[in-house]
Amino acid sequence: MKRTDPNAIGSAVQTLEGRFGKLDRVKERIKNHHIETPSWAYGDSGTRFGVFRQPGVPRNAYERIEDAGVVHQYTGVAPSVAVHIPWDKVEDFNALSDYAREQGVRIGAINPNVFQDQDYKLGSLTNEDPSIRRKAVDQILECVEIGKAVNSHLLSLWFADGTNYPGQGDFRRRKRYMLEGLKTVYDAMPQSMRMLIEYKFFEPAWYHTDLADWGMAYSFSRRLGEQAQVLVDLGHHPLGTNIEHIVAFLIDENKLGGFHLNDKKYADDDVSVASFNPYQMFLIYNELVAAEDDPEARGDVAYMIDQSHNIKPKIEEMIQSVVACQTQYAKALLVDREALAEAQKNGDVVRAEETLQDAYQADVRPLLAQVRMEMGLDPDPVIAFRESGYSEKVAREREGAAGQATLGG
């Protein structure tokens, strides 16, 4: 990795302005585009075949939040950290929230875990055993209370519920169980909280999944009310799915609640954001920026990373992922909306596509470097972090104690 030449940044940005016009408004929007990082991404992770250990990984919730604070320190746009319960469970959440503020961040989305306990082998909210359904509801209600304690306004729900074999469960009965459980939780939420319902078309339920696609999540959210919305995980779709179309549809319905940002090659690989298909990420951001520019579009979209970078250094990779989001967002901000709308209305397919390509092909790295310098940050966050010595420091301080390991993929 080579450091950015500070003398070249200004001239490169001027070149961009020559193509796209003044960029002051673009820079302000980049500075205010916040990306939430997940606590579990800072710990050891792997696949169902094994966990890959790294030196200096956090051993508890406090150390995970400490590392999240470092990512925000070098990027300036990652001011919140999602927590997973019970992985991040502590005796005093007020104290954890205070500690997060000391690290320059705050606690973001609360993610209940209702998939690891042995009781949930045949489902959580959709289990035929009413006592297990009640246990799952109680775990999620506990997360609602945690959210109140730490002033979090997001309850992020994902379920592994489904069946592995034909005949194992009754589809319609399980659907009713799911709605009943979600309704109990929804009714207990404060007005300030949103329920984000995630979906996944397969794994670990190989035959059917109770929340298999965005339409099912959308249906449940409509039944529940305005505080329930859909969470789109980029890896949770069959290959070739037009995710940007789903995003646009949900925006228009005011039902897009947020994202779990990652990328994939084959299935739900949970690899780094935009590492394989940056153009798809750009097209998704194109729809989001178009909605930001539309005074009739409503909604508050939460941008959250959720990935399992098993072999990359945790903090470096998270910085890299935040920058990847910034990069595609910046490119989407450069799209000439007037030219695009005119080409669409005139049926000029080539001009419409070239308008998008013009923005996508732009090198926005100097622009992002300038934005960071204006924020008082190093223009090269990964290099600056490497030079800080933080990794070596925590490797010494945390030596000899295993952290919380999570399985991804």
Q: Which domains does the chain have, with CATH numbers?
A: 33-335 (3.20.20.150)
Unique residue bearing structure tokens 């470097």: 369
Closest residue by Cα to residue 241 from 223, 267, 271, 259: 267
Read off the tokens for 396: 């010494």
Dihedral sign of CA atoms 132, 133, 136, 141 in order: negative
DSSP 327: H
User: Exposure string (b/e) for 43-64, b if CB count within 10 Å is 16 or more?
Assistant: bbbbeeeebeebebbbbbbebb
Beta-carbon contacts of 70 under 8 Å, excluding residues fewer than 6 positions away, are 315, 385, 390
Is 307 in contact with 270 (CB distance < 8 Å)? yes
Phi, psi of 247 (to 5 degrees): -60, -50
Question: In this structure, is the dihedral angle defined by the CA atoms of residues 101, 102, 105 and 108, taken in order, positive or negative?
Answer: negative
Neighbours of 382 (CB within 10 A): 18
Q: Indicate the helix (H) or strand (E) that contains 155.
A: strand 154-157
> What pLDDT sits at residue 409?
39
DSSP assignment string, 263-282: B-SSSS--B-TTSS-HHHHH
pLDDT at 198: 98
| CA-wise closest residue to 300 among 359, 250, 334, 366 | 250
Using the 8-state DSSP alphabet, how is residue 117 labeled?
S
- Distance, in Å, from the CA atom of 327 to the CA atom of 193, rounded to the nearest integer, reads 30
pLDDT (tens, 9 = 90+) of the chain, 409 residues, equals 889 998 899 999 999 999 999 999 999 999 999 999 999 999 888 777 788 888 999 999 999 999 999 999 999 999 999 999 999 999 999 999 999 999 999 999 999 999 999 999 999 999 999 999 999 999 999 999 999 999 999 999 999 999 999 999 999 999 999 999 999 999 999 999 999 999 999 999 999 999 999 999 999 999 999 999 999 999 999 999 999 999 999 999 999 999 999 999 999 989 999 999 999 999 999 999 999 999 888 889 999 999 988 889 999 999 999 999 999 999 999 999 999 999 999 999 999 999 999 999 999 999 999 999 999 999 999 999 999 999 999 999 998 655 555 544 3
Distance of CA 368 to the CA centre of its chain: 21
Give the span between the Cα atoms of 124 and 160, in whole angstroms.
8
Please tell me what DSSP assigns to residue 243. H
- DSSP H or E run through 338: helix 337-345
Determine phi and psi for 55, rounding to 5 degrees: -70, 140
Q: Is the separation of the CB atoms in 77 and 31 below 8 Å?
A: yes
Q: Which amino acid is at 83?
A: V
Between the CA of residue 361 and those of 134, 157, 365, what are the distances in Å?
Answer: 52, 36, 12
Q: At what angle do helices 390-397 and 61-75 cross, to 10 degrees?
A: 170
End-to-end CA gap in the chain? 28
Q: 406: which residues sit within 8 A by CB, 6+ positions away?
A: 40, 43, 44, 45, 87, 308
pLDDT of 122 reads 98
Query: b/e for 309-319, b at 16 or more Cβ within 10 A?
Result: bbebbbbbbbb
